[in-house]
Amino acid sequence: MVDNEPGVLARVIGMFSGRGYNIDSLNVAEVSNQHLSRITIVTQGTNEVLEQIQTQLMNIVPVHSVTNLQTEGSAVEAEVALVYMDIDERNRKNAYQICDFYRARRIENEHNSIIFEIAGASQRIDAFIKDISEIAQIEIVRSGPVAISSMIKD
């Protein structure tokens, strides 16, 4: 959790790049308190490296809390993807069946194209993309994972 003000994200990212840590995924969103934002960063490393990252993040002044959701209790993780595809009439029924199987949502349905929205676990989205791409060429936009602790805090 960080202050919602200009430059905070740049400082957090600067800490990662300055120490040679890779960011696999990054999401930032304002929380219900208008002065705070939640940054979700997916990175990899040994336990020691991840602890070092947590410590270094806490040294950045506008950072209020850092939680490693893999080691500190249970968490719920999800991702969102939008999938655009050009499609002809003979493949439309197959696309709808795949959409229904994965519980994807049709958010735009034109004569020669469809846009699907799918949310959930990354593996489910990967499987949907694999199956739907066998019908036609697709274009994908993915959010990257976001997560929240599922444990009650005191």
Nearest to 58 by CA among 123, 117, 12, 118: 12
pLDDT at 154 over 60: no
pTM (two decimals): 0.74
Q: pLDDT value at position 71?
A: 74
What pairing do the DSSP bridges indicate for beta strands 105-109 and 113-120?
antiparallel
pLDDT at 61 over 80: no
Question: CATH fold of 75-149, please?
Answer: Alpha-Beta Plaits (3.30.70)
CATH architecture entry for 2-58:
2-Layer Sandwich (3.30)
Whole-number pLDDT of residue 33: 74
pLDDT of residue 151: 66
Question: Which segments of the chain belong to CATH 3.30.70.260?
Answer: 2-58
Determine the Cα–Cα distance for residues 96 and 136; give it in Å rounded to an integer.
13
**Cα of 103 vs its chain's centroid, Å:** 18
